[in-house]
């Protein structure tokens, strides 16, 4: 077994140079490590060199009038500590709180979560529903991709082998949103499914996404299309839930049967809409 | 300057440590500090929790070389810190250990939380903060009492 090298570049230019020098397939990019390290242990990945992003000056986020831009290497715990997050992007705050445990969230990053593209990610379905955009930096400059284009399949993304995820932009066009999940244990477990709903007052339409389905979380426009306006009626919600429960991605695996997943999809869909709809005089 | 990491106040040179070695393995096998336990080795049980610069950290998911320049505290040195000692005493007083395998992780995680949040943090919030620490023996009741006792004992 050859020893594995670890490099910890301090600048973006150094990090990109390291990547450019490497033979594709022989390096792994290390962000929080909460997922990558498991693959190294099991030898599912066998890189010669690890490039840690820890020292890059990306680990911060900022709000502006149009939304949130977050650095890919910022730990989830520091986003969680932002008191504006639950007000301005409720579904995203709920998804962050769903990841692992408080200790895990000190290490895990949004960039790592997107780059590793796990099918059961709690963050990707929410970021899909919120129209998040991924900013990639590479030798020829910067490009931005909607997350729906960035995610290709299970563990598969559009990231080039000389590119890094630098930041993620979440527009605040869908202020009413909710993310609900189901698992065996509330902490330290992986969601059997996750349902996000998000409403845009701009066009009066809903977005709906489903996580925990192979090969990757997806938007479900046919289900979202049943919902209209800021307070969809009970029949609309039932129709959306019914449609969602028939999604072909709701299949059996080691975490849940297909029947259980279909029931969960329906129930979580109705509850998520109820949670997202602002209650007059109540808390948001 | 040679690359070092401080463990319980002592410098540990990193030259010989492979890039993919986990802090958990460095502590247990390189330094013989077996108080830190290996449970799931995948960030799901909290048994391997240590403090890095005073904050709780899962040592199974940390690469030793990435922690160059930091100060690691393991359960072996918990009693050197007033908060760590308080936590250990609370666990003893409340009988919050049965087989004891999870105890070092709980002690270090709670020490980190109390140092960050102080006695103003409600016990329920501290318990939520320990959501990643599993215990299969006690049913958590005695642990929850120890958390409350430690919090109330803070100056």
B57/A100 touch (CB, cutoff 8 Å), yes or no: no
CATH class of A61-171: alpha beta
Decide which of B76, B93, B127 is a domain's last residue.
Answer: B76
8 Å CB contact between A15 and A56: yes
Residue of B nearest to A40 (CA): B20
Q: How many domains does chain B have?
A: 2
- Give the gap in angstroms from C-alpha B68 to the nearest C-alpha of chain A: 10
Of B18, B43, B129, the CB nearest to A34: B43
**Per-residue CA distances from A123 to A93, A192, B1, B59 (Å):** 10, 14, 41, 24
The predicted model gives A38-64 an average pLDDT of 94
**Is residue A72 a contact partner of residue B42, using CB atoms and an 8 Å limit?**
no
Domains A5-52 and A176-276 share a fold: no
- Searching chain A, which residue's CA lies closest to the CA of residue B14? A6
Cα(A253)–Cα(A261) distance, integer angstroms: 10
Residue A208 DSSP class: E
pLDDT of residue A229: 95
CB contacts, 8 Å: A44 with chain B: none
pLDDT of the residue at A184: 85
Q: Which CATH number fits domain A176-276: 3.40.250.10, 3.40.50.720, 3.40.1080.10, 3.30.390.50?
A: 3.30.390.50
Domain stops at, among B76, B95, B114: B76
Tell me the CATH number at B23: 3.10.20.30
Q: Are residues B83 and B55 in the same domain?
A: no
Contact residues, chain A, for B133 at CB < 8 Å: 101, 103
Give the pLDDT score at A125: 97
Q: What is the CATH number of the domain that holds B113?
A: 1.10.150.120
Indicate whether B91 and B42 sit together in one domain.
no
In chain A, domain spans? 5-52, 61-171, 176-276
Please tell me if residue A17 touches chain B, with a CB cutoff of 8 Å: no
- Considering Cα of A62, then A67, then A72, then A78, what sign does the dihedral take? positive
Say what the pLDDT of residue A78 is.
95
Residues facing residue A167 across a β-bridge: A71, A135
Same domain for B101 and B140, yes or no, is yes
Q: Residue A137: which of A162, A158, A171 has the closest Cα?
A: A162
Q: B97 and B138 share a domain?
A: yes
Nearest residue of chain B to residue A33 (CA atoms): B61
Same domain for B64 and B96, yes or no, is no
B81 and B38 together in one domain: no
Contacts of A124 by beta carbon, 8 Å cutoff, 6+ apart: A113, A114, A117, A147, A151, A211, A216, A217
Is pLDDT of A284 > 50?
Answer: no
Hey, are the CB atoms on A37 and B63 less than 8 Å from each other?
yes
Rounded to the nearest integer, the mean pLDDT of chain A is 94
What would the pLDDT profile of A88-138 be if each residue is shown by its tens digit? 999 999 999 999 999 899 999 999 999 999 988 999 999 999 999 999 999
CATH number of the structural domain A5-52 = 3.30.43
- The answer to whether residues B23 and B64 touch, using CB atoms and an 8 Å cutoff, is yes
**Nearest-CA distance A37 → chain B (Å):** 7
Confidence of residue A1 (pLDDT cuts 50, 70, 90): low
Look at residue B29 and give its three-state secondary structure: helix
- The residue out of B51, B76, B101 marking a domain boundary is B76
Domain limits for position B23: 4-76
Q: Is residue B53 located within the same domain as residue B86?
A: no
Residue from the list A33, A40, A103 with its beta carbon closest to the beta carbon of B109:
A103
**pLDDT computed for residue B1 by the predictor:** 65
Same domain for B63 and B94: no
Of A58, A93, A282, A57, the closest CA to residue A172 belongs to A93
Q: What is the mean pLDDT of residues A181-194?
A: 88
Cis peptide before A215 (omega within 30 of 0): yes
Instruction: For residues A150 and A121, give the distance between their C-alpha atoms in angstroms, rounded to a whole number.
Output: 15
Could you say which DSSP state residue B21 is in?
-
**Sorting pLDDT into bands at 50, 70 and 90, what band is A228?**
very high
Going residue by residue through chain B (155 aa), what tens digit of pLDDT does each one get?
679 999 999 999 999 999 999 999 999 999 999 999 999 999 999 999 999 999 999 999 999 999 999 999 999 999 999 999 999 999 999 999 999 999 999 999 999 999 999 888 999 999 999 999 999 999 999 999 999 999 999 98
């Amino acid at each position: 077994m050859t020893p594995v090298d670890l490099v910890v570049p301090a600048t973006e230019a150094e990090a990109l140079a390291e990547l450019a020098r490497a033979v594709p397939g022989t390096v792994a990019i290390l962000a929080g490590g909460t997922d990558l390290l498991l693959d190294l242990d099991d030898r599912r990945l066998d890189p010669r060199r690890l490039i840690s992003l820890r020292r890059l000056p990306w680990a911060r986020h900022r709000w502006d009038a149009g939304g949130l831009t977050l650095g890919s290497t910022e730990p989830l715990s520091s986003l969680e500590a932002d008191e504006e997050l639950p007000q301005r992007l409720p579904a995203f705050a709920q998804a962050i709180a769903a990841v692992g445990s408080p200790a895990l969230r000190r290490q895990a990053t949004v960039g790592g979560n997107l780059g590793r593209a796990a099918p059961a990610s709690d963050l990707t379905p929410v970021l899909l529903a919120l129209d998040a955009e991924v900013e990639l930096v590479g030798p020829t400059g910067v490009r931005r991709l909607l997350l729906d284009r960035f995610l290709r399949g299970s563990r598969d993304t559009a990231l080039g082998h000389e590119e890094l995820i630098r930041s993620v932009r979440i527009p605040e066009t869908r202020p009413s949103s909710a993310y609900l999940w189901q698992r065996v244990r509330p902490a330290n477990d992986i969601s059997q499914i996750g349902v996000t709903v998000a409403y845009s007052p701009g066009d009066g339409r809903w977005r709906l996404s489903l996580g925990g389905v192979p090969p990757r979380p997806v938007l479900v426009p046919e289900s979202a299309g049943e919902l209209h306006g800021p307070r969809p009626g009970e029949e609309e919600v039932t129709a959306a839930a019914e449609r969602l429960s028939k999604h072909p991605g709701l299949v059996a695996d080691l975490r849940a049967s297909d029947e259980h997943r279909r029931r969960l999809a329906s129930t979580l869909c109705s509850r998520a809409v109820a949670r997202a709809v602002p209650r007059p005089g109540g808390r948001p | 300057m040679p690359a070092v990491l401080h463990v319980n106040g002592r410098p540990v040179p990193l030259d010989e440590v492979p890039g993919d070695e986990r802090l958990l393995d460095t502590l247990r096998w390189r330094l013989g500090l077996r108080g830190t336990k290996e449970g799931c080795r995948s960030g799901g049980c909290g048994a391997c929790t240590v403090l890095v610069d005073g904050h709780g950290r899962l040592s199974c998911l940390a690469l030793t070389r990435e922690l160059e320049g930091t100060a690691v505290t393991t359960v072996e040195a918990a009693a050197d810190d007033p908060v760590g000692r308080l936590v250990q005493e609370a666990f003893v007083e409340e009988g919050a250990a049965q087989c004891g395998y999870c105890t070092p992780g709980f002690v270090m995680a709670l020490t980190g939380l109390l140092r960050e949040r102080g006695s103003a943090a409600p016990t329920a919030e501290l318990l939520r903060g320990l959501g990643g620490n599993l215990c299969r023996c006690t049913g958590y009741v005695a642990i929850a009492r120890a958390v409350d006792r430690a919090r109330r004992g803070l100056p």
